[in-house]
Structure 1
Amino acid sequence: MKQLIIGFIETIWNQQRFEKIDDFLSNDFIDFSLPEALPTTKEGTLMWIENTGKSFKHHTDIDTLVAEGNMAIAKISFTATHIGEWRGIQAAGIKFTVTGYRTFRIENEKITAHWGHIDATSIHNQLTHTGAGCKIQQ
């Protein structure tokens, strides 16, 4: 199970080898963390990753990965350089790292569901050089 998650992050998110998506996600995959404008399907997930790549040159590292039963959770570090507009903020070439968490449900050796939380407030603060609220500590 852990190798499936590691492979998904490395192959799909980091290498953007989208033709391999069926190696990792089931046909009935649901992503519970996509914006409302996107479908919650594997196609919506690919659209999200492609759109993220338009705003950021990025790399995800898995810091911790725990699996039990058919569930896994990964604590991740998302390192990126701002290369395109994001939420109305023009690209400024700023490099940053934020912490996030991704939870996966696995059935029949495929990811069937995903829930993600990335600290978007921290991204915004780092891009605009502002700070308020809580920071997720590593």
Structure 2
Amino acid sequence: MKKKNTDGLQQELMDSPDLTQFLSQNQEQFVNKNMAELLNHLFEKKNISKAALAKQSGMSEIYLHQIFAGRRNPSRNRLLCLCYGLDASVEETQELLKRCGKAQLYPKLKRDAIIYYGLLHKLDLFEINDKLFDENEETLF
């Protein structure tokens, strides 16, 4: 079955008089990967060890391994820390947040704009936390 784009699927959902029928007809269209699978996929694309990732993400190796094993469900802040640790692009970060059911970065929010800027300009997590602190915004950890 051909993959439908999000807009097409959304339009079909809005036009559908029967939710059960819509769900049945589009079963193959839904994203089924869990957070651990998504993170592992992103991790495999990067040339970094889990020990280095833990250090660059500001978290313990034990907690990191629990996330990758699917035993922990990290918050949005922790996911963003992982994205900084993985040197993820803005696009990779936005996609991970979206597919994990977390709010994407929204540049009209000052805090999100700072985080977005940091990703875009390849600042490390500790630099971005300093910028957040300097602007009286909640830090990532």
Do both proteins adopt the same fold according to a TM-score greater than 0.5, normalized to the shorter chain?
A: no
Higher normalized helix content (fraction of residues): 2
The one of the two structures with greater contact order (alpha-carbon pairs below 8 A, sep at least 6) is: 1
TM-score (norm 1): 0.30
Higher normalized strand content (fraction of residues): 1
Query: Which protein is bigger by CA-based radius of gyration?
Result: 2
TM-score (norm 2): 0.29
